[in-house]
Chain A
Amino acid sequence: MSRHLSRFAGTQNLYSQRPRLAYVAQAARLSLGLVGAAGIVFLAASLARGVPLSLAEVRSLAQASALALVVSVGWPAATAVILGWQQRGLFAWRVSRGALAWPLIVGAILGMGVFLLPGADSVMPWFDRQRAVELGLPLAIGIHCALAFAPDDEPGLEVMLACPRPLAWALLERLAMIWAVFGVIGLAGTLAGMSAMPGQAGETALLRWIPPAALLSGIGAYTTLRTRVAAFGAAITAIIWFVFVFFSSVLLPNVPMIVPLNYLTPVIWPVHPYLQPDHLSGGDYGLNRLCVLLVGIGLVRLAARELRDSERVLLGASRRGRQAGG
């Protein structure tokens, strides 16, 4: 008991650090805002001159965005992991384990196994065996994260809100549990793929699926918490997966495209979850992986923020909105 209380005291220490955290958050928001404004200016300039943005221009924007994302997303995420480790006794892992959807996990394993079988690429001509893990696993993780926590489907929501433990912990616990399970499956699949198809670099094989999985997790979790409908979050995740998988080679710079999409496609590559190592140079591929990963973590952070307003979580309307409505 005293051990748990001392850990709660640790949480209080976190709250005492809030002013310093607030300054960092403000700086991060400002840097992201500046990069966003720069992006709009670049795009407006390209529209004005009638020539789409070049690869070099988008690269400089992507580098600035990655830096801003590291400050605004990477640093708080690292802090959260350290604090979470310090408070680890307060996590309810056993309950979170109950939120795992085993049919989805079994389906992901079976799907990955089938795709890894020799001859799978001859049955489905659009499919490449090297992509066995990256195609199915991120979708399964994304859908699972979308179904992980929907306020309307939580039976004990009022009790959870009344507890001293922040509600966002419940979400993060479940996402961590999902990531742990699928991480093991993904690693096993990567090793199986590397042994089935020798010659693949290990880090490339991992970079193929980890950033898209983070991005789709973020999209699923955020959409569900924003709309309160888990099915909608799952559907949006599936649509985004579908678009990027099936139009992967079209959403690239220097690919002929109709107006006005030719102005948009050059700026998509930094956040293209299914960019292939041979699509762009090694440096650009690395930058893309970093941006995709950080955007995914950023969306998870935004999803956790959605749970801060208890009135919104419970009733589906923000305090400001309720006041405006009288």
Chain B
Amino acid sequence: MHVTISQLSGIVAYEFRMHWRRRSLLVVTLAMTLITVVLAVVTAGEMGQDSMRQLVSQLDQEQGAHGIDVLTFTILFATWAPVGGALAFVLPVLVADTIPLDEQLRTRELLDSLPLAIGVYLAGKVAGVFMAAMTGIVFAAGATAISWWVFVGPYDLVSYLQMWLLGSGALIALNGSLAVLLAAGQPTRRRAALLIIMIWGVGVVALGSVLAGDSNLVAYLSPMRAPIIMRYTRFDAYSSTPVPFLSADTAQALAIGLIEVIIAALVVWSWMRRRAQRA
């Protein structure tokens, strides 16, 4: 048990470092932070022009919504659009090479010769991606929370942090893990990226049909995670703060996504096991 934990923590730590050294995660994190800070400045400019205050008072009079609720929802909506998009569409392509890189750098044979269980290897790779991406998310959440507070004013911080940590965490856990596992059999980084682009491309077309109201099942099965992406885009959310991340829709999407990840993990695990036995 001690050896397993030691191996797992070693792989996680190595993956964590390598993902940050490859720069792409750094660029995505900085881009998410920068875009959100710019949006905070833009929103502050709008409030300076009284248009936001007018909207708040109008909603207060017409629908009885409190100013802080409207402001919180505006902040959640503005932040979640770029962050959710980046995590759902971009992150999977960037982390797809996690396992194929071992094949490309010819370290696969070395790993096969070590007393390392395939399950531990896969868990370490997936957990490494999760830890690396979540570190960026924690940094971005902190930096942007402060910028919204400074530029725009007090808002519901619990909803905001819940969106970053639970919403982003869910997308990383589902889409990041799925991309790592689905691309596991590819021999090169290029082919891994290509495969994930193709799968996610089909997902975008599927999302188009979902938006057209064709099928709800596709929305849950597609790696676009439409119910999670759309969580903070519905205007009925402002009537109650804190805005909870978990709703019936998101819970269903989470459950189906987790089942997909588990099935993918089992398939990859059995395929790698068979390959090791053949070798």
Contacts and interface: CB of A to CB of B under 8 A. Distances in A.
Interface of A: 101, 103-104, 107, 111, 123-127, 143, 147, 150, 152-153, 227, 229-232, 234-235, 238-239, 242, 258-261
A18 B103 CA distance: 43
A234 B197 contact: yes
Interface in B68-124: 85, 89-90, 93-94, 96-97, 104
B71 to A, nearest CB: 16
Question: What is the interface of chain A mostly: helix, strand, loop, or mixed?
Answer: helix
Contact of A261 (B42, B89, B96): B42
Contact of B208 (A127, A232, A259): A127
Given A123-B208, A230-B189, A258-B42, 18 more contacts: A104-B197, A111-B201, A124-B211, A143-B197, A147-B190, A229-B24, A231-B97, A234-B193, A234-B197, A235-B89, A235-B93, A238-B90, A238-B93, A239-B89, A242-B85, A259-B42, A259-B45, A259-B46
B90 A235 contact: yes
B58 interface: no
20 contacts: A103-B194, A104-B198, A123-B209, A123-B212, A124-B212, A125-B212, A126-B211, A147-B193, A147-B194, A150-B189, A153-B189, A227-B23, A229-B23, A229-B94, A230-B189, A231-B96, A235-B90, A238-B197, A260-B42, A260-B45
Interface of B: 22-24, 27, 42, 45-46, 49, 85, 89-90, 93-94, 96-97, 104, 188-190, 192-195, 197-198, 201, 205, 208-209, 211-212, 214
A234 B93 contact: yes
User: Which 7 A-B residue pairs are closest in the complex by CB-CB distance?
Assistant: A231-B193, A232-B24, A124-B208, A235-B90, A235-B93, A259-B45, A231-B93
A232 B94 contact: yes
Q: Which residue of A123, A127, A234, A235 has the most chain B CB atoms within 10 A of its CB atom?
A: A235
A259 B212 contact: no
Contacts of A153: 104, 188-190
Contact of B194 (A101, A232, A239, A258): A101
B86 to A, nearest CB: 8
Contact of A229 (B22, B209, B214): B22
Contacts of B189: 150, 152-153, 230-231
A227 B24 contact: yes
B89 to A, nearest CB: 7
Contacts of B23: 227, 229, 232
Given A125-B212, A259-B42, A227 B27 contact: yes
